[in-house]
Amino acid sequence: MNFQISLIDVVDVSLVAVVIYFALRLIRGTRAEQMLIGLTVLFVIYELSKWFGLLTVEWVFSQFFSAFIIIFVVLFQHEIRRGLMRVAVNPLGSSGVPMDQLIEQLVESSLAMVHQGWGALIVIERETGLKHLMDSGVEMNAPLRADVVQALFCPKAPMHDGAIVVRADASGGRIVAARVLLPLAQATALQGEFGTRHRAAVGLSEESDAVIVVVSEERRDLRLVREGRLSKAYDAQGLRRALNEALEGNVRIEVAQS
């Protein structure tokens, strides 16, 4: 047989491969990965039932797969929403804003609050806008400095509840909102030992590409949250390294052990 492959065919296959690659990358390490494996197992059972002539089993699974598009959308609605949001932003990720000063202020303030035994939620806004969350808090325009962050989260301060939202800029970062309420959406997979603060951070990271620093007053430790994953506890050096990797677009973090 004489197969002829044109440039259009190459482009067609390449685009499909790129879409599949980014889809798998999006769900890697999430519950969607487990659901996809489950669907694959069901499909294998369906094919085996056809092979062995198991008519009842084949009929049941054929009814299931006849509504596959609806089932797929229901099961993966969160991942689809997150993927579509990423299509709408800069796919290259980097904004060119220097992050060194921002990271140092976050590390210094987080470590100080761990030693004080104060709790904190610090949200670093990235490509996905968080204006809808800021409306639940108090909008600000304050420079990102360690002393300012500590003042906001001091237990005696009027705005210590909730989270602050940090936005990177050429000056090293600014605090654009405080006392912000975060969603608890999709955070049910978190271990029971973690409280509302950690669940709120995981919930937000499942809905956006934000990077969240969580300082626990009960555990006296600090962790990083991104893409629905809670890291292990970090010291100053570990947090600095993790923030550098996360803000440069590396989605892999050392997750907390089950």
What is the predicted pLDDT for the residue at 92?
41
88 pLDDT more than 70:
no
Most confident of 17-31, 109-123, 202-216: 109-123
Element of type H or E holding 123: strand 120-125
Place of tokens 């705005």: 159
Residue 156: half-sphere exposure toward Cβ, Cα within 13 Å:
1
Predicted confidence band at 176 (pLDDT cuts at 50, 70, 90)?
Answer: very high
What pLDDT is attached to residue 136? Answer: 85
**In the numeric block, which tokens belong to residue 66?**
């006849």
pLDDT at position 9 over 80 = yes
Give 204: exposed, middle or buried? Use CB within 10 Å, 0-12, 13-18, 19+.
buried
* CATH class of the structural domain 100-247: alpha beta
Listed by start position, the domains of the chain span: 7-87, 100-247
Count of C-beta atoms within a 10 Å radius of residue 63: 9
Instruction: Calculate the average pLDDT of the chain.
Output: 82
Q: Is the pLDDT at 86 greater than 70, yes or no?
A: no
Residue 257 has pLDDT above 50, yes or no: no
Query: In this predicted structure, what is the pLDDT of residue 31?
Result: 64
Say if residues 200 and 119 touch (Cβ distance below 8 Å): no
Q: Do 133 and 176 form a contact (C-beta atoms < 8 A)?
A: no
The pLDDT value recorded for residue 132 is: 80
CB atoms within 10 A of CB 103: 22
Return the minimum-mean-pLDDT range out of 47-56, 102-111, 128-137, 216-225. 128-137
